[in-house]
Amino acid sequence: MNLTYSYVRELFDYRPDGFLIWKVRKGGKTMGSVAGPKAKVGYSFIVVDGKAHRAHRLIWLWHHGYMPEGDLDHINRIKHDNRIENLREVSRQCNIRNTGNQKNNKSGVRGVCGKDVFRVQIAVNKKQYWLGNFKCFDEAVLTRLAAEQCLDWDGCDSSSPAYQYAKSCGLIK
């Protein structure tokens, strides 16, 4: 059974801190209890009629009246932060781009690596492109950011580590 807006509204209330609350007593769930406890790592899930659903997708349905066909992005990259203002409907490509740096990234900016000379690259459709070597870290970051913008990373640039660094250092407005 596909969930509908009216069925989700019948089952749950929404709390502004990003949680759904059971409005009915169903399948051992207590009325007034939080649906889908907060996950320590990863996404929170809510079981409805024997099927697990990602909590953020149910919250989107509760607010907007439809289940998105594509991806929902957690803007701040915290997978269990399901406040509606932290969710946005995006393409798969944009959702993939809104990932943090890899654990082995030492520069703090995705696609920029090095110590005395900074190598800049970007991946597009699973293909790596080399953008150059730079002695100045700020110049390397701005080159990476320019490449992202040239590729029209629609709606993704404000969550990019290059954008965040350039903004925080006053390199861009």
pTM: 0.73
In this structure, is residue 173 part of a structural domain? no
Residue at a domain's end among 90, 119, 138: 90
Residue at a domain's end among 90, 108, 125: 90
Strand order in the sheet with 127-134: 112-114, 118-124, 127-134
Domain check: are 115 and 83 in the same one?
no
pLDDT-derived band at 1, boundaries 50, 70, 90: low
Residue at a domain's end among 90, 108, 134: 90
Q: What is the pLDDT of residue 154?
A: 56
pLDDT-derived band at 157, boundaries 50, 70, 90: low
Domain check: are 57 and 120 in the same one?
no
- Mean pLDDT of the region 50-73: 94
Domain check: are 40 and 112 in the same one?
no
Share above pLDDT 90 across residues of the chain, in percent, rounded to a whole number = 47
Report how many domains make up the chain.
2
Residue 110 has pLDDT above 90, yes or no: no
Residue 25 dihedral angles phi and psi, to the nearest 5°? -90, 115
What's the pLDDT tens digit per position in 163-173?
888 989 999 88
Q: % helix / strand / coil in the chain, to the nearest 5?
A: 30, 25, 45
Burial 139-162 (b: 16+ CB within 10 A, else e): ebbbbbbebbeeeebebbbebbbb
Which one is predicted more confidently, 125 or 75? 75
Which one is predicted more confidently, 124 or 112? 112
pLDDT-derived band at 126, boundaries 50, 70, 90: confident
What's the pLDDT tens digit per position in 2-48?
799 999 999 999 999 999 999 988 777 888 899 987 777 789 999 99
Print the domain residue range for 144: 100-168
In this structure, is residue 133 part of a structural domain? yes
Domain check: are 70 and 18 in the same one?
yes
Domain check: are 15 and 60 in the same one?
yes
- Give the H or E element holding residue 167: helix 161-168
Q: What is the pLDDT of residue 96?
A: 74
